Amino acid sequence: MAPTLEYRDKIAVLTLGDDENRFSPDWLDAVNARLDEVEKDAHALITTGLGKFYSNGLDLDWLMANGERTQWYVGRVQELFSRVLTLPLPTVAAVNGHAFGAGSMLAIAHDYRVMRDDRGYFCFPEVDIHIPFTVGMAALIQAKLLPQTAVTAMTTGHRYGGHEALRAALVDDTAAETEVVNAAAARLQPILGKDAGTLGAIKSTMYADVTAALRAGQ
- Pick the closest to residue 140 from 90, 44, 215, 36 (CA basis): 215
Every domain of the chain and the residues it spans: 4-216
Mean of the per-residue pLDDT values for the chain?
A: 96
pLDDT (mean) for 8-32: 97
pLDDT tens sequence across 89-119: 999 999 999 999 999 999 999 999 999 999 9
pLDDT over 70, % of the chain: 100
CA distances from 183 to 99, 113, 145, 172 (A): 18, 10, 21, 11
pLDDT at 218: 60
- CATH no. for 4-216: 3.90.226.10
pLDDT (mean) for 169-177: 96
